Structure 1
Amino acid sequence: MNLLNLFFRSLIEYVFRRRSAGASLIKVGVPLLVAVLASLSVGITVPTANGPFVFSWDTSGGDAALSWAVFIVAASIVATGLFLIIRDVRRENRDKVIVIEARGLRDWNGEPLDKAVPISLKGRRDLVLVDVRQGLIDGQIVSPDRALRHLTSLPDDIARRVGGLDRADISFVLGGLAPVPLLFLLGVIVDDEHHTLFMDWDRTQKTWRPLDDDDDSLSFNLTGMDGIPVGSSRVALCVSASYDVLDADVRLVEPTAPVVRLDLEGRSTASHWSETKQQRLAQQFLDAVMDLARQGVTDISLFLASPASLSLRLGTVYDKRNLPRLTVNQFEQADPKKFPWAVVMPVAGTVEPKLEQR
């Protein structure tokens, strides 16, 4: 069934792929050129020691001038098509798609993300695998400090890969299976300055997928903004986009901070497969954070329950300079503290991400 789904997805991508103007011109020009060659009159005289050698070719007896005119037009169409194809090939060789995959929930070797990138995204694939599975026990990272170190060197790696390239020639593809704070951090590192395609792992089909479902028009419900006491500098922002973030769990690590909630209507683990919907949710998240900043909040403790692709996206939209200090908490159901560690994001003057263990 998985192979069948993959076949149909690839077939649909091929049928609806972006057409090459050069290839289309050649498809028109070559048959026309072949047809006109069959009706041309050609005569060649070659002087030799035994007298002139005459070669003549006349297959139709039609108007030679018209045949030659059509031949020139057909040859021009083919030449233009070849020029456009060469131009597109050179452009594709210049374009670069940096595919960043984070692995950090299970010790597995599944399909690499770069193999699932749609063929409609042009450019050379450059896979960056961020493997944070060291110290992993049954999907739980027991050494988050080691995992964090794998991400701290990523900005230099990205800078090396994009060095000397025009920004317009660079695209990013982001996806991964990793703890929420690390995914959010990855989004912060990549930022939103480049064209970025977000993909996610479909646990049912067991394959990577782009966000290609229709928008269901559901949004976040924002509550708690009116209950922030005047002068509050720290707020617990709870975002429930898949599972519920429970106030009782939040109070174990934030006993006094005012709680602001963003709760997605009709939320589930499969309610995130629309690109348009995720863009709307990201804007709502950004608007809420900006509203908190306007109220004087300078420190946000984020409790985020969301699919991987949305965690990545929210990280990319978080303004590094103009928004409050941000700490993203990691939920562990089996831990009595519920949120045993968190990552302070490199925003609001914090240069390097920092680990907070409780």
Structure 2
Amino acid sequence: MFNHFVRALIDWAFRRRSVGLTLIRIGLPLIGLVLVGLTVGVTIPTADGPFVFSWDSAGGGSALLSWSVFIVVTFIVLLGAALIIRDVHREGRQKVIVIEARGLRDWQGEALEKAVPALVKGRREQVMVDVRQGLVDGQIVSPEVAIRRLSSIPDDISRRCAGLDRADISFVLGGLAPVPLLFLLGVIVDDESHTLIMDWDRTRRMWRPLDEEDDGKRFTVVGLDVVSSGTTRVALCVSASYDVLDADVRQVEPTALIVRMELEGRSTASHWSEHKQQQLAQQFLDVVMALARRGVTDIALFLAAPASISLRFGTVYDKRNLPQVELNQFEQADPKKYPWAVRMPVAGLTQAQLIQR
């Protein structure tokens, strides 16, 4: 606890702007001037001869004035120190839970916890979810193990958040894992608390916040208007990086109506704007809500998207009021193309379920 207080104090001194720090910066030089004894003299030439103004803190009324200044600036410095201690103590109550999903074989990258920006206030606690067991040639052959590990996260989060005010808790999410597992992680954490989503930059080989400008490109929605009232199952194909092909979808959903969301100018590097992702997530949510209003109760979701978008879509998916959703895993080398899927714990389902084909 003491070490955290020292680190937080250093943050305040060198990286943060605060009222308390400003007061100290103003007060300390004034105290120094009073203590060393300041003599000020100003001569202004006038028509009647020079006008001389001088003040010597060492004598007479000036001494009284110096002591008055000293008392005032000392109070300012003490007030500043009290404000800093208050803020550091308040920050000490805050906790940042950093959840990283690792699903790549031979991962040698930096831990997400070390890349969290300094502006995210609070004690860091890392939750590492390693889903690499069951990997064969880069493919997960035992997704049930990964699902079981992810399903234990709510209990872990509850333990870490016990006794804390919700306002003092924030989350940082990131990971490199199959899309269904990232979406599931987003569903588990949801967006009820402040959540920062980060992504791995494969070019720079580093974790990054979503700090680029919004290019204004959004999803084009196709097929929603043909979903008639009473349709219960729909295949929702979201192409945010690669293309989701109808021919692949038809192997596992031969009869379901297909609704497509296709991101204009999509690529594997068109997702680095926080504002853009928020808008894309809102579009996704709007389409799902529109399907629900038409009576759809089951959504087969086919999502081709970067990790951060997969996480974000999971965080915005309402567990209680939206249709049941199963997210399909794409495997290029598999003849089925979508050999397994995860049925999400929403719409009354308490635990995620694996659909193995």
TM-score by length of 1: 0.89
> Map of 1:1-358 to 2, 5 A cutoff?
17-39=15-37, 60-61=58-59, 63-358=62-357
Q: Distance in 2 between the 1:145 and 1:155 partners?
A: 17
| Distance apart, 1:170 and its partner CA | 0.4
The answer to whether the Cα contact below 8 Å between 1:242 and 1:307 also exists between their aligned partners in 2 is yes
Runs (5+) with no aligned partner, structure 1: 1-12, 41-57
TM-aligned CA distance change 1:14 to 1:218, over 3 Å: farther
**SS in structure 1 at match of 2:333:** coil
Change (3 A) 1:16 1:289: farther
Question: 1:257, 1:217 → 2: CA distance?
Answer: 31
TM-fit CA distance, 1:18:
3.9
**CA drift at 1:77:** 1.2
- Which amino acid counterpart does residue 19 of structure 2 have in structure 1? A
Kindly provide the amino acid, as one letter, of the partner of residue 94 in structure 2.
D
Please give the alpha-carbon distance, in whole angstroms, between the structure 2 residues aligned to 1:324 and 1:330: 19
Partner Cα distance (1:75, 1:176) in 2: 50
Deviation, structure 1 residue 39 = 2.3
Offset at 1:16?
11
Q: How far, CA to CA, are the matches of 2:15 and 2:333 in structure 1? A: 46
Q: Which string of whole-angstrom CA distances, capped at 9 and with x for unpartnered residues, describes residues 226-259 of structure 1?
A: 2224422000000000111011100010000000
Does the 8 A contact of 1:325 with 1:347 survive in 2? yes
- Corresponding letter in the other structure for 2:208: R
Unaligned runs of 5+ in 2: 1-10, 39-55
Q: In the TM superposition, what is the alpha-carbon distance from 1:110 to its structure 2 partner?
A: 1.6
Q: Take 1:345 and 1:34, find their aligned partners in 2: how far apart are those partners? A: 65
Deviation per residue, 1:174-202 (Å, 9 max, x gap)? 00000000000000000110000000000
CA distance in 1, matches of 2:256, 2:269: 31
Q: Distance in 2 between matches of 1:111 and 1:124?
A: 19
Structure 1 residue 17: Cα displacement:
4.9
How far does residue 313 in structure 1 lie from its aligned partner after superposition? 0.5
**Displacement of 1:59 after TM fit?**
6.7
Q: Is the 8 A contact 2:57 2:63 kept in 1?
A: no
Aligned sequence identity (%) = 71
SS of match in other structure, 1:122: coil
| Preserved contact between residue 171 and residue 195 of structure 2 (Cα < 8 Å) | yes
Using the alignment, how far apart are the partners of 1:307 and 1:179 within structure 2?
Answer: 10
Against the structure 1 CA distance between its residues 326 and 16, is the aligned structure 2 distance closer, same or farther, given a 3 Å change threshold?
farther
Rounded Cα–Cα distance in structure 2 between residues aligned with 1:278 and 1:175: 14
CA contact (8 A) 2:34 2:57 kept: no
- State the alpha-carbon separation in 2 of the partners of residues 213 and 166 from structure 1: 32
Higher deviation after alignment, 105-114 or 146-155 = 105-114
* Offset, 1:61: 3.0
Residue 357 of structure 1: CA displacement? Answer: 0.5
Q: 1:347 Cα shift? A: 0.3
The normalised TM-score by structure 2 is 0.89
> How far apart in 2 are the matches of 1:17 and 1:278?
28
Q: Distance in 2 between matches of 1:228 and 1:18?
A: 53
Quote the Cα distance in structure 1 between the aligned partners of 2:198 and 2:70.
49
What is the DSSP-based 3-state SS (H/G/I as helix, E as strand, rest coil) of the residue aligned with 1:251?
A: helix
Distance across 2 between alignment mates of 1:91 and 1:230: 52
RMSD: 1.9
- What secondary structure is seen at the aligned counterpart in 1 of 2:270? coil
Please report how far the alpha carbon of residue 142 of structure 1 lies from its aligned counterpart in structure 2 after TM superposition: 1.1
Q: Which residue of 1 aligns with 2:43?
A: none
Q: 2-side partners of 1:265 and 1:17: how far apart? A: 39
